[in-house]
Amino acid sequence: MAPSVAQEIPSEESLHEIADLKLNRAFDPAQHSSYKYDRYLPVYDETTKFPPTEPFEFVDRGTKADKAKPPLLNPHNSKLEVTKLTPRVGTEIKGLQLSELTDVQKDELALLIAERGVVVFRGQDFKDIGIEKQKEFGSYFGRLHVHPVGAHVEGAIELHNIYLGPDNLYRAQRRSSKLTTTGYHSDVSYEHQPPGITILTLLSVPSTGGDTGWVSQVAAYERISDPIKKLLEGLRAEHSGFPQAEGARRDGKFVRREPVKSEHPIVRVHPATGQKALFVNPGFTKKIIDLKDEESEALLQLLFKHISQSQDVQVRVKWDDQTVSLWDNRVTAHTAISDYDVDGEKEGLMHGFRITTLAEKPVGVDGLESVW
């Protein structure tokens, strides 16, 4: 399985050259006639198909960074405010624009995200710099992922759309039979080379609610007893995209790339920090390889409960429309918290876009690698 060049994402121009391109708009234009960010409203390209992803070389930007991060966390910058949101996960930064970072600062940011799990930037102009600059910023950290089934921004299939409003209740309906809307996951962890950094920008937020929660998978791993750690470090687990694709087809959605499964180490090692982290999540991890069904189910349920209920290694972040959050999927799991009323006149719109970058083939303890 030698590395090769992955399939190029079609440009906006080439997409529009497809004569029979079908775009299904997942919103009511009449309800957004005066909306500043109507350019970012959700659509589904129901024409463009993508081949399976292929292996590619990846070097984490954080490996190039000075651990002290002097240009990023400049003590002489009087406008800069850096706050740890909790002891183990989450840092908030004010007084620094993502859109103005140098390459050296971006390298240091990659390392900071790996160390703290999620970094929340306040007072940002990122949503207003334009789609091409937004994609360029994301591309600095890795190859941009195209979601196999999700809605996206028109002409920018790499910008995965986050939208829940009175004219599109799809996300709410999918969870209507559940006791809770929370669901911890690591973005598309079934990919053969799953995501590193994700960048989430919100354009419109409800008056209250709609927070996001993250859990440190590093701290969660560290809490486990040594005998169980030793067991987990030698195991792989199956991460599957098939249920997501099957659910999308059942709901009449277009699947632009056929689903895959991957067997990833349950404990992976981050290339920039050397830290060990759990790499399982309730969203996509289905079974532990080489264990009997009952053994796999019992162990996964233990880990899922540990991840979801350990509030002492979690952080909950409140959004506004000038906030951008960046997190590392290799060392965190996260959940949306959809606790707002989408039909309320003052609360009914949650809208943003997610840029997700692919990273290395996971490597675990003693060089244990992913297989597929």
Q: Are 151 and 26 in contact (CB under 8 A)?
A: yes
Q: Out of 185, 316, 321, 341, which one is annotated catalytic?
A: 185
347-363 b/e (C-beta count within 10 Å ≥ 16 → b): bbbbbbbbbbbbbbbbb
Q: Out of 152, 264, 268, 354, which one is annotated catalytic?
A: 354
Backbone angles phi, psi at 79, to 5 degrees: -85, -15
Please say if 175 is a catalytic residue: no
Whole-Å CA distances, 179 to 33, 175, 183, 303, 339: 35, 8, 11, 20, 12
Nearest to 278 by CA among 171, 156, 169, 362: 362
d(CA 134, CA 144): 11
Q: Out of 45, 60, 107, 187, which one is annotated catalytic?
A: 187
Please say if 354 is a catalytic residue: yes
Q: Are 319 and 223 in contact (CB under 8 A)?
A: no
Q: Are 277 and 221 in contact (CB under 8 A)?
A: yes
d(CA 232, CA 265): 8
Angle at 212 between CA 355 and CA 81, to 5 degrees: 80
Up-side HSE of residue 230: CA atoms within 13 Å toward CB?
A: 3
163-192 b/e (C-beta count within 10 Å ≥ 16 → b): bbbebbeebeeeeeeeeebbbbbbbbbbbb
Beta-carbon neighbour count of residue 198 at 10 Å? Answer: 25
Point out the residues that are catalytic.
185, 187, 334, 354
